[in-house]
Chain A
Amino acid sequence: SQQGEEDPQALSIQEGENATMNCSYKTSINNLQWYRQNSGRGLVHLILIRSNEREKHSGRLRVTLDTSKKSSSLLITASRAADTASYFCATDSGGYNKLIFGAGTRLAVHP
């Protein structure tokens, strides 16, 4: 069973627009992480937010975490064509840094 579920499944925007992806999960967590995957490649870590944090920034990325609603959002500001990829949320809740992934959001940024 998947812990995290992303919404929307697919998102298509123009360069310069902001992209928002949401993630919901089911159990208590140690942290929640976001990863990016370009087509045919491995996953790249973007940002980690711990259960006692509410918001975190990294460059054009902003992540929020609401543990009461068991949800997180990833905002990419001023999107670029190079941001086209699949984005996954993953939760760490069982020790050993094990991650449980959602099905991902496919983001397409058009020039």
Chain B
Amino acid sequence: DAGITQSPRHKVTETGTPVTLRCHQTENHRYMYWYRQDPGHGLRLIHYSYGVKDTDKGEVSDGYSVSRSKTEDFLLTLESATSSQTSVYFCAISGGKGENTEAFFGQGTRLTVV
């Protein structure tokens, strides 16, 4: 799986609580991404990073924040979880061979907000 580890793999949390998902890579890829996958929507980009401390919003960023303090780690935080954030979250990396190249995905984190 291209040296990408997501943690936790499964989490159940209550509405209104903060949640942080972690993505760790050992590939030294420049770019990192967080996507969410919901039935009928494919994968949608939440946030991405193009370097340490360099992040930007994706298509569905409301309610999420990210941080990247080291090349290998990209954190996704739900400040106050809502039921609409129940989803499967995937981290991806890219840019190991430069621009215009493929992405590699982690195994996903299944998050349930009750």
Contact = CB atoms under 8 A, between A and B. Distances in A.
A2 B58 CA distance: 12
B95 A100 contact: no
A14 to B, nearest CB: 27
B107 A41 contact: yes
B42 A96 contact: no
Interface of B: 1, 31, 33, 35, 40-45, 48, 50, 56, 58-59, 90, 92, 94-95, 99-108
B113 to A, nearest CB: 19
Contact of B101 (A42, A48, A101): A48
A40 B88 CA distance: 9
Interface of A: 1-2, 4, 30-31, 33, 35, 40-45, 48, 50, 88, 90, 92, 95-104
B41 A103 contact: yes
Given A44-B105, A103-B40, A97 B99 contact: yes
A104 B48 contact: no
A4 B106 CA distance: 22
A99 B103 contact: yes
A99 to B, nearest CB: 6
Contacts of A48: 100-102
Contact of A98 (B1, B48, B102, B108): B48
